[in-house]
Amino acid sequence: MIAALVLVPAFAGVLALLLRRDRLRRALLVATALTHLGLVAAVWRATPAAPPTAWLRLDPVGTLVLGVTSVLFAVAAIYAVGYLAHEVRAPRPDMEEDALFANGPEAVFTACLLFFLATMTLVTVSQNLGVLWVAVEATTLASAPLIFFHRHHRSLEATWKYLLICSVGIAVALLGNFFLAFAASFGPAGSGSLVLNELIAGAPGLHVRWLKAAFVLLLVGYGTKMGLAPLHTWLPDAHAEAPSVVSALLSGALLNCAFLGIVRAYQVLSAAGQGRFAGDLLIDIGLFSMALAAVFIVAQPDFKRLLAYSSVEHMGILAVGMGLGGGAVFGALLHLVNHSLAKGMLFLLAGNILAAYRSKSTAGVRGVGAALPVTAALWVAGLLAITGSPPFGPFLSELVIVKGAIDQGHPVATVLFLLFLAAAFVGMARPMLTMVQGEPLASLPPSGRDRWLAVAPPAALGLAVLLLGLWVPSWLNDVLRAAARVVGGGS
């Protein structure tokens, strides 16, 4: 069952390379995404039995990230059909410069999307930290061609930075894995195994100095991929230059997978009684990410980069919540779900605006409300959701994290957390609301050009994030609680 989750999209990816007809390939993409979603629903209802030391096994945290990834991918796949059908094939003028550019082959794009899903699934089911490493590096390789779909020099630059920075970051994480294996090979019982449950079971015997060094290396390595400041430099470029459907997947699914790598390391340190050391590091790097993101969000002239920096901010929130421990862990995991849904929605909508206005500049876009009324309404809803306004889900999860911070006695962290959230709210609200208002330029498409396939997927995500703010269903709540318990967050 678990193998099928990885192999179905992988085989579909190979098949996509062989298919000649575009319509057939798009049907394959959607069919695979829905099959994957069905399989995930099945494992969600009844976790497949596996011995506790199996390399591939679903634990509650993995199930949660897998579920979010699968839902977001299904929505993105449906959106991608409309996107690919409306992309101009012939070389066309660049929107920022005079040069002409064309798209990469659609077969490669679709295949890489499917490989991307397969590798992300492998990340979520890996219980051996070595396999986890292999899978995270594979996500980088599967997604690099996606960022380079529009063949111009800006996407080339973004892809190069992404490939190199993330590959080197991941190499540091591999060194961290080896350090962890070193920490595990002390003492008579030391095996040097990297299977998570064996590490946790033998945690009291781990060598503390190697263990701490391993955590720092893993935090730097996977933190690079997750977009934690100051290692985030690839993130705004890649998110801004990739097609919007890819940006949605990078931000909503890939970053969570990298976060999972850090969570695994955190689990081992908690079990070894070093949870406070790891937690303090996570809080510090999380708050720094939020601060830096807030600085770059204010006066950001490009709306896709705005959303990208918002992702840096939210990854910081996840790190802070995880680092606080206790009740905040539940908040962080709930926030992971909320952020993925809300940010996925916003990037898809940004794609609609970009397609209509052919500009990423917040100053170049006016009157979305008149030109694309449905997109505009969802855009405002998405803004409220991502900035943590009630009644949307992120409000609830951020509240739980703040409550956790107060309960744990972190007054300074609480104040800074709220301050950075407020700064991001102001920084995002002003440009995003200005884009909606005003009169559209005369050269723009007439009102009512919202295509069904372009607004239904983000609307579905928006509805989900709204419902999560009002009521967390018991099937989700159970997994969240179980996951929080596994990570060491109690209750």
Per CB under 8 A, which of residues 203..222 are in contact with another protein?
A: 207, 209-210, 213
**What is 48-74 written as a DSSP string?**
PP--TT-SB---HHHHHHHHHHHHHHH
Structure-block tokens of residue 204: 């009291």
Q: Give helix 208-226 / helix 129-147 axis angle, nearest 10°.
A: 20
Nearer to another protein, 40 or 184 (CB): 184
What are the backbone dihedrals phi and psi of residue 103, each rounded to the nearest 5 degrees, phi first? Answer: -95, 160
Q: Is 116 in the site for another protein (CB under 8 A)?
A: no
Quick one: which of 8, 219, 229, 241 contacts another protein (CB under 8 A)?
241
> Please, which residue, 227 or 236, has the CB nearer to another protein?
236
Q: Are 316 and 330 in contact (CB under 8 A)?
A: no
- Which residue, 42 or 220, is less far from another protein as judged by CB? 220
In this complex, which beta carbon is closest to another protein, that of residue 97 or of residue 478?
97
CA–CA separation, 195 and 127 (whole Å): 6
CB of 9 to another protein, least distance (A): 17
Q: For the segment 291-330, give every residue that binds another protein (CB under 8 A).
A: 295-296, 298-300, 305
CA distance 149 to 248: 15
Q: Which helix (H) or strand (E) holds 101?
A: strand 100-101
Report, in Å, the least distance between residue 424 CB and another protein. Answer: 14
Least distance in Å: CB of 138 to another protein?
6
Task: Please say which residue, 69 or 139, places its beta carbon nearer to another protein.
Answer: 139
Encoded tokens for 128: 């051996």
C-alpha 168/C-alpha 163 separation (Å) is 8
| Contacts of residue 139, Cβ cutoff 8 Å, sequence gap at least 6 | 116, 119, 120, 123, 254, 257
Element (H, E) at 406: helix 393-407
- Among 73, 83, 148, 222, which residue sits at the site for another protein (rule: CB under 8 A)? 148
Among 190, 205, 373, 488, which residue interacts with another protein (rule: CB under 8 A)? 190
Q: Which is nearer to another protein, 235 or 402 (CB)?
A: 235
- Residue 140 is a binding residue for another protein (CB under 8 A): yes
Tokens 């991608």 identify what position? 80
Size of the site for another protein (CB under 8 A): 53
Q: Does 133 bind another protein (CB under 8 A)?
A: yes
Only one of the segments 39-47, 161-169, 415-423, 438-446 lies at the binding site for another protein (rule: CB under 8 A); that segment is 161-169
Q: Taking contact as CB under 8 A, which single stretch among the options 185-193, 351-359, 445-453, 467-475 is the one that binds another protein? A: 185-193
Q: Residue 368 Cβ, how far from another protein at the closest point, in Å? A: 24
8 Å CB contact between 65 and 260? yes
User: What CA–CA distance (Å, rounded) separates 227 from 387?
Assistant: 19
CA–CA distance, 178 with 12 (Å, rounded to integer):
34
Q: Is 201 a residue that touches another protein (CB under 8 A)?
A: no
370 near another protein (CB under 8 A): no
Residue 302 CB partners (closer than 8 Å, separation 6+): 240, 360, 361, 362
Under rule CB under 8 A, residue 153 binds another protein? yes
- Least distance between another protein and beta carbon 317 (Å): 21
Q: C-alpha angle with apex 312: 294 to 413, nearest 5 degrees?
A: 60
State the residues that interact with another protein by CB under 8 A: 128, 130-131, 133-134, 137-138, 140-141, 144-145, 148, 151, 153-154, 156-161, 163-164, 167-168, 171-172, 174-175, 178, 181-182, 185-186, 190-194, 207, 209-210, 213, 236-237, 240-241, 295-296, 298-300, 305
